[in-house]
Structure 1
Amino acid sequence: MKKRTAVRALWMVLPLLSVAVLSHAQEWVSLSSKGKLQYDTTSRGDRIMDFSYAGYKGGGVNIPDVPVRIRVRPDNANDAATIQAAIDSVSALPLVKGFRGAVLLAAGAYTCDKTILLHTSGVVLQGSGSNPKGTVLQLTGPAHVAVALRGKPVYTKTSAAAKVTMAYVPAGTNKLTVDQPAIFNQGDTIRITKPVTPEWIQFMGMHDLVRDGKPQTWINGELTTDRIITAINGNTLSLDVPLTDSYDAQYTSAVVERISTSGEIVNCGIGGFSIVSPTQTGTINDRHHQAFHISGITDAWAEDIQAYNTINSVSVTGRRITLDRIRIYHDTVTTGAAKPADINASGPQLLVQRCYIKGSNVFYIATGAKVTGPIVILNCTFEGGGWIQPHQRWATGVLVDNCHVPGGGIEYMNRGSMGSGHGWSIGWSVVWNSTAKSFLNQQPPGSMNWMIGCIGEQRQEARPFGKFPMLPGGINVSQGKHVQPESLYYAQLQERLKKKI
């Protein structure tokens, strides 16, 4: 199989980290005279996080070339069952260096009337190319997802709950202090839990959401994020990935617990084929053919896939996933005020790169509720009347880097009573050197959003549904002119790995 990479050497077009430093005031990220990244912080220590941990294996790792174990050719009769049987056979093989093997689909059209499921670690489904002469999955029958990569993780708490003792944990840090450090060990996976309290809801201004005379609930329960302890020094835990949100003891009391995981699968991938749905119309409440889902998986990828006429096409809730060269095309416009999301990016450490979507009345990229990053949207182009828009209920740690939305918008906003009370959709997130017809950048209480080096109209709006004042704008730096480094993600990745990528 041909060698493929998750990260290409953009440093051929990126300037070396030795360019002249701009005026440092209010830049938030800039290059020192020695070509090193330097970060401004708030008075409480918050900063733009290091997004370089997004992607397969935590960023900067090539997608592997996995040996083929079974080859499949189309028979135009029961292709989905034939492909599934091949996947099941490979799934029974032993792991060799983390992989069982790949199922290779020969060029041709495959009639698929049901979902093809990857359900075991170390299995890859690879086609012979996404072009019309390559591998084509032709969707038939009742609406379904073409391909699903699906684990069923169960998380078990294995320690007492240690209290976070810092009065304020700043966004972007990879350290926090706890009252019981002795219950943890280096290498432990921990879950940091931030209870959603009435005090925090009131502080965020989300206590008075009403639509059609009925109160709405923005968030309840807990906000959680998982990390691995890399070191323990006294009562300070060092974490493998920086935190995407802040923790303020004035409004909520965060705790840390060790967890173990079972039922999760790892090291899976799909790519090299197209997915063709019959033309679909209607609202998003109708059932539709979809392209692929990735859930309950750590370390996976989808690359070189073209999808035609799928709706709510891609959903990713796994961890450390790369989507590379996913292209989605629509023949018709979905009707209704509610819009589908072509890519639902709702898992930690996701990298969506070199993707293309053509369509209108869609969210090109959206996030779900309580999503923590880092999530990176890199070098993508989306054409038509649509939006990159974190969608609901407090996502944190999103970077849109060198993306182009010439007919639509990039929006970090308070959606108020839209939907079922989506409210503040995003905080502690960045748009870097991107272009769009328009931008909307709003600043949540106690948080920040940055748009740096962006070209396009900057809008200002109030909270939807009601007579509300204009919301405060987020941080805009170098509006109308790109900045250096050209790509924040690649600059951070090179600096962290101490090598060119």
Structure 2
Amino acid sequence: MTSSPYKKRIVVTVAIAASVSAIAFSIAASRMPAWESKFVKQQKDGSLQYKADKQGNFIPDFSAVGYYHGDKPIPEIPAVATVSPSANAMEQIQAAIDKLSAQKPDVNGFRGAILLKRGEYRIPGSILIKASGIVLRGEGNTENGTRLIATAANQKPLIDVQGNGKITEVQGTRVNIADKYVPTGATSFNVTDASAFKAGDHVILFSAANDHWISDLKMDQIVARNGTKQWRSEEYNLSFERTILSVNGNTVELDNPVMMPIDADYGGGALFKYTFNGRIQHIGIENLYCESPASSDTAEDHSWDAIHMDKIENGWVSKVTARYFSYACVNLSPAAKNITVTNSRCFDHKSKVTGGRRYSFNNDGQQNLFLNCVTADGRHDYVTGAKTLGPNVFYNCSSTITHADIGPHHRWAVGTLYDNITTDGEINVQDRGNYGSGHGWAGVTQVLWNCKVRGAAVQNPWASGKNYCIGLNGEKRAGRFKDRMDGEWEGLNKDGLQPPSLYKAQLEARQKKK
């Protein structure tokens, strides 16, 4: 597809506007009196002090997300194979991937990078990566760089990264959490018997749900319309992936915090070891320009995602531009964990402007980080799906020409930080009621920090935690239901919030402890 001058101007204008806005915001903020949130205060040594409520809940540490929890830089992997544009480009790329997949990884778990030389590659299917340790790298994420064009008349991803297997409980290791109530933010708690656990064990922090919880959330009382599904407790048993840092008697310390209260009255919780045989890792997608040509602005018989990832951990997407796709630049499925998506762009979707389309950067996985991304013409640009389990972070991202809102989209996403998000649309955290098939409460422990929006509705659910809106610049809105409880609002339209970024402050504070 030949891009129009108008569409090119959108890309350039968005980039310039984002830069100018960032500079203007920085100058304006430097002139405003600094203020701190009552919920999080930064000490002179860089450490953070958190204010807990009466039950001990506080804003959790979101910093241990992305590639190796942010504790390792994304590596530069040497190219071991090169592919140039040709009439059978897809076959050559896939052959290079398959050949590299058969080789033994090095001591760091990498097989090498495949360099796609500058030029146009027409791809009549999906490029598949199914083995660990492979980096796919281009020579530029503009139309003059490495340009991958999805030509298949179907909705499959252009690049599909797929491991296999699933989370499997190690039988005989499950123990119950002994504490009646474990607050949001806690990293340690007591179990009935910790003798089988040790530092380094991969465990599931299991949060159970019962009918009492559903009733108190009023999610068995959603005003029904055609297709509405009331929530059922057995569908809300949540499995948070964690690693044990230490064991002291029956007290277990985890690498990432509790993201919602574990309350015995609502079903309590448990801890058990798990395996995930078949999950791949060390995959990188870098410096590419991806297109999905369409016959019209609302056509949908073309590629859905530029990049889709599932059953993978410790990977990254860097400097990828996606254009004309119906769904996403990057779409992370529930079993995608510790992925960093950085400096990427999603523009000019081609699809109907309706549900299930234009989710520019979609995250359904755990412990993932999106930073320095830009979108235009999307719907839910930085978004999580049903029961997306944190921590997860969207940091320093922007969107323009929006057609819907940013935020948790439906059904109880747990633990997401929206940090320095700028949009000409809305960020909403609310009871969505019978939207979709009965979305209900979209999320809990959702934190908006220093965001700039046209409008926002941030509400607290009837039970099991809070949502926070701190330092928002924009209009406070009532949301879909005016009788829902306000979230924890602080510093509306008040510049000068310190620290300017919660994610960066938490990362620096955590790394100083090591």
- TM-score (normalizing by structure 1): 0.90
Q: Does 1:315 align with 2:327?
A: no
CA distance in 2, matches of 1:381, 1:240: 30
Q: 1:489 aligns with which of 489, 503, 506?
A: 503
After superposition, give the CA deviation of every residue in 1:243-263 in whole Å (9 maximum; x if it has no partner): 212111011131211112200
CA distance in 1, matches of 2:160, 2:98: 14
Q: 2:361 aligns with which of 340, 343, 347?
A: 343
Q: 1:409 aligns with which of 413, 426, 430?
A: 426
TM-aligned CA deviation for residue 33 of structure 1: 5.0
Gaps of 5+ in 2: 1-21
- State the match for 1:156 in structure 2: 168
CA contact (8 A) 1:281 1:334 kept: no
After superposition, give the CA deviation of every residue in 1:58-97 in whole Å (9 maximum; x if it has no partner): 114211010111100011x221111010011111121112
Secondary structure of 2:68's match?
helix
- State the match for 1:444 in structure 2: 461
TM-aligned CA deviation for residue 287 of structure 1: 6.3
Distance 1:135 1:339, change over 3 A: closer
Secondary structure of 2:426's match?
strand
Distance 1:169 1:191, change over 3 A: same
- State the match for 1:7 in structure 2: none
Gaps of 5+ in 1: 1-9, 464-468
CA contact (8 A) 1:188 1:258 kept: yes
- State the match for 1:232 in structure 2: 247
Q: 1:217 aligns with which of 230, 243, 268?
A: 230
Distance 1:499 1:281, change over 3 A: farther
TM-aligned CA deviation for residue 109 of structure 1: 0.2
CA contact (8 A) 1:293 1:316 kept: yes
Give RMSD over aligned pairs.
Answer: 2.4
CA distance in 2, matches of 1:418, 1:67: 48
CA contact (8 A) 2:444 2:466 kept: yes
Alignment of 1:164-183 (within 5 A): 164-183=177-196
Q: Does 1:190 align with 2:200?
A: no
Secondary structure of 1:141's match?
coil
TM-aligned CA deviation for residue 223 of structure 1: 1.1
Secondary structure of 1:497's match?
helix
| Larger displacement relative to structure 2 (165-174 or 340-349) | 340-349
Q: 2:118 aligns with which of 107, 116, 122?
A: 107
CA contact (8 A) 1:462 1:470 kept: no
CA contact (8 A) 1:436 1:455 kept: yes
Tell me which amino acid in the other structure corresponds to 1:200.
Answer: W
TM-aligned CA deviation for residue 14 of structure 1: 9.6
Distance 1:142 1:348, change over 3 A: same
| Larger displacement relative to structure 2 (281-290 or 122-131) | 281-290
Distance 1:424 1:47, change over 3 A: same
TM-aligned CA deviation for residue 183 of structure 1: 2.2
Distance 1:285 1:279, change over 3 A: closer
CA distance in 1, matches of 2:227, 2:501: 45
- State the match for 1:377 in structure 2: 394
After superposition, give the CA deviation of every residue in 1:204-235 in whole Å (9 maximum; x if it has no partner): 11111243266513354321112111111111
Q: Does 1:205 align with 2:222?
A: no
TM-aligned CA deviation for residue 397 of structure 1: 1.1
Q: Does 1:133 align with 2:144?
A: yes
- State the match for 2:321 in structure 1: 306
Distance 1:95 1:355, change over 3 A: same
Alignment of 1:225-374 (within 5 A): 225-279=240-294, 288-313=303-328, 314-317=330-333, 318-330=336-348, 334-336=352-354, 339-360=357-378, 362-374=379-391
TM-aligned CA deviation for residue 281 of structure 1: 5.3
- TM-score (normalizing by structure 2): 0.88
After superposition, give the CA deviation of every residue in 1:153-203 in whole Å (9 maximum; x if it has no partner): 332222332111111011111112111211222221111222221111001
Secondary structure of 1:183's match?
coil
Secondary structure of 1:481's match?
coil
- State the match for 1:4 in structure 2: none
CA contact (8 A) 2:133 2:282 kept: yes
Alignment of 1:35-74 (within 5 A): 35-74=46-85
CA distance in 2, matches of 1:177, 1:308: 49
CA distance in 1, matches of 2:428, 2:489: 13
In the comparison of the two structures, how many residue pairs are matched? 476
Secondary structure of 1:200's match?
helix
